[in-house]
Chains A and B, each alone.
Chain A
Amino acid sequence: MTSATADSSAGRVRGRPRPLRPPGWTRFDGWGVLVLPLLVFLVLVFVVPLVFMLSRSLTDPSVGLQNYRDVFANAVYPRVLGNTFLIAAIVTVVTLALAYPYAYLMTLVGPGWRMVMMGLVLVPFWTSILVRSFALVLFLRDTGAFNSTLQSLDLVDQPVPLIRTLTGVVFGMVQVALPFAVLPIYATMQGIDRRLLQAAESLGDRPAGAFWRIFVPLSAPGVAAAVLLTFVQALGYYITPALLGGPKNTMIGELIVQQVSTVLRFGFAAALATLLLLTTLLLLVVAGRFVDLQKHLMRQP
């Protein structure tokens, strides 16, 4: 990231050629070797297990594509995989719709309120997902605080079914994902020079126009980061949909856990996980054709 920022500042200086960099390690000026322990760590805990998992999906219980054939032989797995992507997409849209105005408001209020708003995002962020999901179950269930309040106010006759429904899953997952969207969006918005908006208005644009034409595009990197973080994270959710969802909202994570822990079909579970990983990567590649991910995530010119 450091080198990326250095690059971008260098790129913005006009009229001067970019400094020539020798290839290889030396571009990190020797300090780059500090990255090595992290690389070793990542290889050990991420790359090696990933390779093991991939190979297991092709070798357990026998060598070949049997596990992948099994996934598609039973309609339930493709359907749940599709369902997983659908739920992740809904969660991403809802999260974004809530996080964007929230982050924008954070840039407008004074330092005291900003602390409060930041706290409201961070405290749940630091609380265990299991605890939060279970609290939501108690809150949202038919006999829970939400429904009994509605009923005691005579607003509804029958409790509104909120858990074991798509509403419940989305509610719970959005609640978990919000900090991951608010934080990057806020970080980007904070860096936007508001004088640009004033300049636009002084040149005759209406405030709304200035906001849409100047502020929104400039906040795009934060939004792109938020979308990626929320979406990819939502794909792997397991506890929240298991607690708040109904049978129709099963996500692929639950089936993978079941295959590993109760049926003990490690190879089949590995195949499911690999398919999830591949479809995610494929989606990122497709998204990359429409959005310049590198530009938005690395903030390179």
Chain B
Amino acid sequence: MKTTRLLAIASAAGLAVALSACGGGSGASDSSLTVTMWGGAAQKAHVDSYFTPWAKTKGVTIKQDSPTDYAKIKAQVEAGKVTSGPTEVEPNFANTACEGGLLEKLPQDILDKAKATGVAESQLGPCAIPILQYSFTIAYNSKTFSGAHPTTWAEFFDTRRFPGKRGFWKYATGGMFEAALLADGVKPDRLYPLDIDRAFRKLESIKKDIVFFDTGDQMTQMLASGEAPLVQAWSGRIFQAQQAGEKVANEWRQNLVSYDQIVVPKGYPNKDLAFEWMRWFLDNPKAQAADAEASIYGPASEKALELVPENIRKELPGFPANAESSAGLVDYAYWAKNYDGVTERLNAWIAK
């Protein structure tokens, strides 16, 4: 059985090669930046308006990945083979991951520059700068509610006056607990730390009218079809659907402002290049404004907001009228501490 043994040896060698291939190479060249974001039209807008122009002047190749996958970041950092560069994340992840050592700490000059260029200090972290803003709004189907529509979270929860299903994002930080508490009469400045028990009681009162969605597409589809004529929504998606001719609209009263941040996973070989891009980004409100126009997400800094055309600006959280009627900013420091526990309770409540 000579052939058998030979083949066995050959396969063993193959195995060894395959294993060593897994171990070699980090995949990053000297002048490339791998950008990871949530994908779709928004990612295209972001990359076009604030990565490509910078890359052209620097001779850097931009590679893309999507969507952001926290598990992948964690796995990459743990394995010591990081291929993701600048990555768009939610602030509660940026908080916990920064503390947990999964992210690169930003050089002090970037944080200073961010403050100097009009970025809100509350949206900065030791590992993260904000890149965009949006709001959790009361979105409604304007065909179903051609007369009056709910303008406060209390009315959103009033199923007698406004019958129909309500859509919520099946996600603890998706704003539903804040909405429930505001609906129950909690003052916006007293929202945090959230009274989760009270929020669940309020949610329980309309549970049979709640439908949950997982993605933005589901959200707009649900709202536009009239399946759930009321949705706690991401403002930009609703405006985009409206522009596409759907009978949907944002109600900006009591909107909850949220934001995404950019971080760099710990051990990214081209981290200095990533930092260099961050400096450029903060110094270029024009690029941020161009992105806001293309993606309907608010820019990171106030300076950039002024450069956005009026018809788009009125659909951004920073627009004065929207900012005035806002119920505040989602407190991601709270969520960083409580996300796991509340998620667990939410799962149990949903499955009950």
Contacts and interface: CB of A to CB of B under 8 A. Distances in A.
A25 B4 contact: yes
Given A30-B4, A264-B70, 7 more contacts: A25-B1, A26-B1, A76-B347, A83-B351, A142-B226, A247-B212, A258-B343
A262 B70 contact: yes
Contacts of A164: 211
Interface string B257-285: 00000000000000000000000000000
B348 A76 contact: yes
Interface residues of A, number: 39
Nearest to B15: A40
A247 B350 contact: yes
A80 interface: yes
B54 interface: no
A255 interface: yes
A76 B351 contact: yes
A260 B71 CA distance: 6
Contacts of B211: 164, 246
29 contacts: A25-B1, A30-B1, A33-B3, A33-B7, A36-B7, A39-B11, A40-B11, A40-B14, A44-B19, A74-B348, A76-B344, A76-B347, A76-B348, A76-B351, A80-B351, A141-B227, A142-B226, A142-B227, A143-B225, A143-B226, A164-B211, A250-B347, A250-B351, A258-B347, A260-B71, A261-B71, A262-B171, A263-B340, A264-B71
B11 A36 contact: yes
Interface in B320-352: 339-340, 343-344, 347-348, 350-352
A69 interface: no
A203 interface: no
Given A33-B3, A242-B214, A79 B70 contact: no
Contact of B70 (A80, A246, A250, A261): A261
Interface string B1-30: 101100110010011001100000000000
Contacts of A231: none
A262 B351 contact: no
Nearest to A28: B4
A15 interface: no
Contacts of B351: 76, 79-80, 83, 247-248, 250
Given A30-B1, A164-B211, A263-B340, A37 B14 contact: yes
Nearest to A25: B4
Contacts of A33: 3-4, 7-8
Given A40-B11, A44-B18, A261 B69 contact: yes
Interface SS of chain B: helix, strand, loop or mixed? helix
Nearest to A38: B11
B74 interface: yes
A180 interface: no
Contacts of B214: 242
The CB with the most chain B CB atoms within 10 A, among A33, A243, A266, is that of A33
A142 B165 CA distance: 11
A75 interface: yes
Interface string B208-223: 0001101000100100
B71 A255 contact: no
Contacts of B221: 137-138
Contacts of B3: 30, 33
Interface string B234-272: 000000000000000000000000000000000000000
Contacts of A142: 226-227
A214 B194 CA distance: 67
Contact of A36 (B8, B340, B344): B8
Contacts of B18: 40, 44
